[in-house]
Protein backbone atom coordinates (compact mmCIF):
# COMPACT_ATOMS: atom_id res chain seq x y z
CA UNK A 1 0.00 0.00 0.00
CA UNK A 2 2.99 2.33 0.37
CA UNK A 3 2.95 2.77 -3.42
CA UNK A 4 -0.38 4.60 -3.10
CA UNK A 5 0.75 7.09 -0.43
CA UNK A 6 0.61 10.74 -1.56
CA UNK A 7 4.01 12.16 -2.53
CA UNK A 8 5.07 15.82 -2.69
CA UNK A 9 8.84 16.28 -2.81
CA UNK A 10 11.26 18.95 -3.93
CA UNK A 11 13.76 17.35 -6.28
CA UNK A 12 15.81 20.46 -7.06
CA UNK A 13 15.68 24.26 -7.00
CA UNK A 14 17.91 26.06 -9.49
CA UNK A 15 18.56 29.34 -11.26
CA UNK A 16 17.39 28.63 -14.80
CA UNK A 17 18.27 31.94 -16.40
CA UNK A 18 19.54 35.39 -15.40
CA UNK A 19 20.53 38.42 -17.43
CA UNK A 20 21.43 42.01 -16.68
CA UNK A 21 21.62 44.80 -19.25
CA UNK A 22 22.84 48.36 -18.79
CA UNK A 23 22.24 49.75 -22.30
CA UNK A 24 22.78 53.41 -21.46
CA UNK A 25 25.82 53.14 -19.17
CA UNK A 26 27.91 55.01 -18.28
CA UNK A 27 26.07 58.25 -19.16
CA UNK A 28 22.86 57.33 -17.36
CA UNK A 29 24.79 56.71 -14.15
CA UNK A 30 25.48 60.45 -13.96
CA UNK A 31 21.80 61.46 -14.22
CA UNK A 32 20.62 63.35 -11.11
CA UNK A 33 16.97 62.23 -11.42
CA UNK A 34 15.53 59.36 -9.40
CA UNK A 35 14.80 56.21 -11.39
CA UNK A 36 11.44 54.51 -11.64
CA UNK A 37 11.26 50.76 -11.11
CA UNK A 38 8.87 48.42 -12.93
CA UNK A 39 8.63 44.82 -11.69
CA UNK A 40 6.75 42.04 -13.44
CA UNK A 41 6.35 38.52 -12.12
CA UNK A 42 5.05 35.32 -13.63
CA UNK A 43 4.66 31.64 -12.79
CA UNK A 44 4.76 28.78 -15.30
CA UNK A 45 4.27 25.07 -14.77
CA UNK A 46 5.33 22.31 -17.15
CA UNK A 47 5.38 18.53 -16.83
CA UNK A 48 8.88 17.03 -16.97
CA UNK A 49 8.02 13.35 -16.80
CA UNK A 50 5.44 11.13 -15.13
CA UNK A 51 4.73 12.71 -11.72
CA UNK A 52 7.49 15.34 -12.13
CA UNK A 53 6.81 19.03 -12.78
CA UNK A 54 8.97 22.09 -13.33
CA UNK A 55 7.63 25.28 -11.74
CA UNK A 56 9.34 28.48 -12.90
CA UNK A 57 8.96 31.89 -11.28
CA UNK A 58 10.07 34.74 -13.54
CA UNK A 59 10.96 38.31 -12.58
CA UNK A 60 11.62 41.24 -14.89
CA UNK A 61 12.95 44.38 -13.20
CA UNK A 62 13.37 47.47 -15.35
CA UNK A 63 14.69 50.71 -13.92
CA UNK A 64 14.37 53.87 -16.00
CA UNK A 65 15.30 57.50 -15.77
CA UNK A 66 12.94 59.47 -18.00
CA UNK A 67 12.65 57.34 -21.14
CA UNK A 68 16.04 55.62 -20.87
CA UNK A 69 16.69 52.24 -19.29
CA UNK A 70 19.16 52.33 -16.41
CA UNK A 71 19.18 48.54 -16.07
CA UNK A 72 17.05 45.57 -16.98
CA UNK A 73 17.18 42.29 -15.08
CA UNK A 74 15.40 39.16 -16.21
CA UNK A 75 15.63 36.06 -14.05
CA UNK A 76 13.98 32.65 -13.95
CA UNK A 77 14.19 30.52 -10.84
CA UNK A 78 12.84 27.01 -11.18
CA UNK A 79 12.17 23.93 -9.16
CA UNK A 80 11.47 20.32 -10.02
CA UNK A 81 8.74 18.82 -7.88
CA UNK A 82 7.48 15.27 -7.60
CA UNK A 83 3.72 14.88 -7.17
CA UNK A 84 2.23 11.40 -7.08
CA UNK A 85 -1.00 9.84 -5.85
CA UNK A 86 -2.67 13.19 -5.18
CA UNK A 87 -6.28 13.99 -6.01
CA UNK A 88 -6.56 16.00 -9.24
CA UNK A 89 -8.22 18.91 -7.39
CA UNK A 90 -5.10 19.26 -5.19
CA UNK A 91 -2.56 19.21 -8.02
CA UNK A 92 -3.40 22.69 -9.36
CA UNK A 93 -3.16 24.49 -6.01
CA UNK A 94 0.09 22.69 -5.13
CA UNK A 95 1.71 23.60 -8.45
CA UNK A 96 0.20 27.11 -8.54
CA UNK A 97 0.62 28.12 -4.89
CA UNK A 98 2.90 25.86 -2.80
CA UNK A 99 5.65 25.33 -5.39
CA UNK A 100 6.04 29.03 -6.32
CA UNK A 101 6.17 29.88 -2.59
CA UNK A 102 9.14 27.51 -2.27
CA UNK A 103 10.97 28.84 -5.37
CA UNK A 104 10.32 32.58 -4.92
CA UNK A 105 12.71 33.31 -2.02
CA UNK A 106 15.59 32.00 -4.12
CA UNK A 107 14.56 34.28 -6.98
CA UNK A 108 14.33 37.28 -4.65
CA UNK A 109 17.85 36.68 -3.37
CA UNK A 110 19.34 36.13 -6.82
CA UNK A 111 17.74 39.26 -8.28
CA UNK A 112 18.87 41.46 -5.37
CA UNK A 113 22.39 39.99 -5.56
CA UNK A 114 22.68 40.45 -9.33
CA UNK A 115 21.57 44.09 -9.15
CA UNK A 116 23.90 44.84 -6.24
CA UNK A 117 26.87 43.17 -7.97
CA UNK A 118 26.19 45.41 -10.98
CA UNK A 119 26.88 48.43 -8.76
CA UNK A 120 23.33 49.48 -7.95
CA UNK A 121 21.44 49.49 -4.66
CA UNK A 122 19.60 46.14 -4.49
CA UNK A 123 15.98 46.00 -5.50
CA UNK A 124 14.13 43.81 -3.02
CA UNK A 125 11.13 42.05 -4.50
CA UNK A 126 8.21 42.19 -2.11
CA UNK A 127 6.38 39.18 -0.75
CA UNK A 128 3.82 37.75 -3.15
CA UNK A 129 0.47 36.19 -2.34
CA UNK A 130 0.60 33.23 -4.72
CA UNK A 131 -2.79 32.04 -3.52
CA UNK A 132 -4.38 35.29 -4.71
CA UNK A 133 -2.53 35.02 -8.04
CA UNK A 134 -3.70 31.44 -8.45
CA UNK A 135 -7.30 32.28 -7.56
CA UNK A 136 -7.27 35.21 -9.99
CA UNK A 137 -5.97 32.93 -12.75
CA UNK A 138 -8.61 30.33 -11.94
CA UNK A 139 -11.35 32.97 -12.03
CA UNK A 140 -10.15 34.25 -15.40
CA UNK A 141 -9.93 30.72 -16.78
CA UNK A 142 -13.14 29.54 -15.09
CA UNK A 143 -11.16 27.01 -13.06
CA UNK A 144 -10.62 24.70 -16.03
CA UNK A 145 -6.85 24.27 -15.80
CA UNK A 146 -5.58 21.90 -13.11
CA UNK A 147 -1.97 23.10 -13.54
CA UNK A 148 -2.13 26.81 -14.41
CA UNK A 149 0.42 29.10 -15.95
CA UNK A 150 0.04 32.23 -13.83
CA UNK A 151 1.45 35.48 -15.11
CA UNK A 152 1.12 39.11 -14.06
CA UNK A 153 2.24 41.52 -16.68
Q: Does some domain include residue 7?
A: yes
Of the candidate ranges 36-45, 52-61, 116-125, 141-150, the one whose mean pLDDT is the lowest: 141-150
State the pLDDT confidence band at 2, using cuts at 50, 70 and 90.
low
| DSSP string covering 59-122 | EEEEEEETTEEEEEEEEEEEEEEEEES--HHHHHHIIIIIHHHHHHHHHHHHHHHHHHHTTSPP
Q: Does some domain include residue 71?
A: yes
Looking up residue 107, the CATH number of its domain turns out to be: 3.10.420.10
Expressed as residue numbers, the domain containing 111 is 2-121
Q: Does some domain include residue 83?
A: yes
Q: Does some domain include residue 153?
A: no
Q: Does some domain include residue 16?
A: yes
| Local structure of 66: helix, strand or coil | coil
pTM: 0.84
Q: Does some domain include residue 134?
A: no
Amino acid sequence: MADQDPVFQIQRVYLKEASLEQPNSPAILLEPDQPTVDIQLGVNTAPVSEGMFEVTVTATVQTRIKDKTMFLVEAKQAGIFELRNLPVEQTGPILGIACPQIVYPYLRGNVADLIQRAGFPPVHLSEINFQAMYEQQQAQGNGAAPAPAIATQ
